[in-house]
A = this chain, B = another copy of it.
């Protein structure tokens, strides 16, 4: 009676995808929590560490989330002392986001945790398989992105 109950018949990679994604973030977030970080913050931390302060909209584009999602994320990060919002002298609408010292110091350890967990997820995968998966995922992403635009979602 160990037969898996299925809610659909044909192989549906999209259902597994959702579960894998949630399990992945659960594992990463559990480890990052001890550092006072979270997975969603990593794109922001990494790109700001590499270069100069950036406006919010640019960070949203890089992290591939909508602008209000980024605004809220930055609110939490500001509250936790990870980023500062500095007035942009060249545009009074814009405020440039910069890392605090505290965030700079924690960043590397956080990135390492992320990479280690990616390696766990890809355990037993050959280089060829990783590349193949990457290509397949990119094609799915493009298909969906095109549909989203055309369908005005």
Contact = CB atoms under 8 A, between A and B. Distances in A.
B30 A153 contact: yes
Query: Number of copies of this chain in the oligomer?
Result: 2
A43 B137 contact: no
Interface string A104-131: 0000000100010110111111000111
Interface string A62-84: 11100000000000000000000
A137 B64 contact: no
Interface string A7-24: 110011110111111011
Interface residues of A, number: 56
A101 interface: no
B47 A13 contact: no
Contacts of A11: 130-131, 134
Contact of A137 (B13, B30, B46, B143): B13
Smallest CB-CB A-B distances: 10 pairs? A11-B134, A23-B144, A16-B137, A7-B46, A30-B153, A7-B43, A20-B141, A13-B133, A123-B143, A19-B64
